[in-house]
Amino acid sequence: MAETKREIERKYEATEKTGLPDLTRAQGVSAVLDRGVAELDAVYYDTADLRLAADSLTLRRRTGGEDAGWHLKFPVASGIRDEIRAPLADTLPTSLARLLRSRIRDEDVVPVVRLRSSRDVRHLVDDQGTLVAEVSVDTVHAERLTETGGETSWTEIEVELADGADPTVLDAVEERLKKAGVRPSASASKLARALAETTEPAPADDTRVAVFRPGEDTAGGRVLAYVQEQIDAIVALDPAVRRDLPDSVHQMRVATRRLRSAFKTYRKVLDRTVTDPIGEELKWLAGELGVARDQEVLLDRLRGRIEELPRTLLLGPVRSRLRIWNAAHGGGARRTALAALDSARHLALLSTLDALLTDPPLRKGATKDAPPVLAKAVLKDYDRLARRVDHALALPAGHDRDLAMHEARKAAKRARYAAEAATPTLGKPAKRFAKRMKSVQTVLGDHQDSVVARDALRILAIQAHAAGESAFTWGLLHGQEEAAGADREREFPKVWKRASAPKSRAALTH
């Protein structure tokens, strides 16, 4: 069974003769305890083309020390990684293999580097005897396990924050190390250093970069850069969704939607005969992920409504009924999302997205200057939104208007995404335009959430009544959601008037 540990550490250059300064002079450290020397032996795995290393991931099988086993590390921020551990085994545990699937696809991971380290460990404790950090002096020998590899050795100092300790202790320790002449390491990890020092650098072979130059001011260059950003997000968020990290499902779904919108918006740049089938697959993936996300949003909304009610208006086992309803939907929703990520269809989609960047279906518009092409595409999406808004506002309140406002919401989202994609090219005018479109999307989104909540509350009332419970509270909440939806309908014309001001669109073309 895998477990996760947040690793916050800093690395420093050292030699065999480098001695540690008196770290009790570091603020927050009262004593330094010698914990002896541990002999560690780790084999690092990757694909033959080092896909994991390219994304700053490390996968290793380590023996020796207190944490022998398989370790998979994901970068979180500079000096911070999530280390996912699984018990020692001869082969890669399935729990870790799933987290690598979006990056390695059907490729095998093979041994690429062996690191043997002699680790001299010291514990830093505060005046209560509580561990605040671990300092180790590591003497490392690295061996490249491929035909072209070599060997190298070095010594480094590693300072790792203890769980729950104040991060400022790392700054205090670093201050003492710097005064002693010790400097931060140039390498982010032992593996990165080993790879750099045990083989000749290979010539760059990134076909995606060969297609366009970063910052190239052509429509094709700008659009493809945005497309690549969304594809990279989908790949990176796959393991986050599997780990059930907060907001990961939402962010992955957003990336699929942004990509689909880009295909539709920038049809003068990318050939839709190629991108439309990909868009359908992205729609499928977003739909499978959306079951979990939509349930999460709806549950939060209903819980919030219940918490706002006085206790005297909570008639019957309201919270228990909501838990029963969610259990019938929530668990199945997560299973649906994970099944989609484990499917051959998802792998095929990822491979298709790779191919899209390798050999992009560029049209003639791709060679034109980016600003006019992108501005025209954004304005076209705005016109589409304006037609849908006019249609919705012309309808009387009711079911048809609810549907029309939902369609306008989707058009507002597309216009927003188009402007965000164009912001690196068009600058502040596009950024301001995107903000206006977001305001439209937000009020229409709140309206749609009230519509969805009413449907759920009706079902909850029926279930409560059938079980012999009072349906009063569910009816009361239904009435609140009707009022909330009506409020958004009254608010929307004012929001639209501000967002549709002609000067914001004119600025896109100047």
What is the pLDDT at residue 1? Answer: 52
Q: Do both 176 and 46 map to the same domain?
A: yes
Among 366, 395, 423, identify where a domain stops.
366
State whether 160 and 302 are in the same domain: no
Q: State pTM to two decimals.
A: 0.88
Q: Are residues 318 and 224 in the same domain?
A: yes
**Spatial CA neighbour of 318 closest among 329, 331, 300, 305:** 305
**Do residue 403 and residue 435 come from a single domain?**
yes
How does strand 151-161 pair with strand 69-77? Answer: unpaired
The residues near 360 (Cβ < 8 Å, ≥ 6 apart) are: 211, 220, 224, 227, 270
Do 185 and 283 fall within a single domain? Answer: no
Task: Specify whether 276 is located in the same domain as 423.
Answer: no
| Residue 434 backbone zone (phi > 0: left; psi -120 to 50: alpha; other: beta) | alpha
Give the containing element (helix H, strand E) for 114: strand 110-125
In a domain, 272, yes or no: yes
- One domain for residues 338 and 456: no
Specify whether 338 is located in the same domain as 379. no
Shared-domain flag, residues 105 and 229: no
Domain assignment present for 435 = yes
Same domain, 415 and 347: no
Find out whether 448 and 298 touch, Cβ atoms under 8 Å.
no
- CA dist 75 and 236 (Å) reads 11
12 forms bridges with which residues in the sheet?
A: 157, 184
pLDDT along the chain (510 residues), means of 10: 87 88 95 95 95 95 90 94 95 95 93 96 96 96 88 95 95 95 92 88 47 67 95 97 92 96 96 96 94 85 95 95 86 84 96 94 93 96 97 95 96 97 96 97 96 96 95 96 96 96 92
Are residues 467 and 433 in contact, defined by beta-carbon separation less than 8 angstroms?
Answer: no
Q: Which residue in 54, 79, 66 sits closest to 123, CA to CA?
A: 66
Instruction: Supply the CATH number for residue 156's domain.
Output: 2.40.320.10
Dihedral sign from CA coordinates of 282, 288, 289, 295: positive
Question: What spatial distance separates the first Cα and last Cα of the chain, rounded to whole Å?
Answer: 58
Q: How many domains does the chain have?
A: 3
What CA–CA distance (Å, rounded) separates 211 from 214? 10
Domain-located, residue 202: no
Question: Which of 315, 334, 366 is at the close of a domain?
Answer: 366
Query: Any idea what the CATH number is for the domain that residue 243 is in?
Result: 1.20.120
Strands 69-77 and 58-63: antiparallel
Residues 361 and 377 in one domain: no
Name the CA dihedral angle for 436, 442, 444, 449, rounded to a multiple of 10 degrees: 170
Rounded CA-CA distance 203/291 in Å is 44
Helices 318-342 and 219-242 cross at an angle (nearest 10°) of: 120
What residue numbers bound the domain in which 67 lies?
A: 3-197
Domain match, 258 and 172 both: no
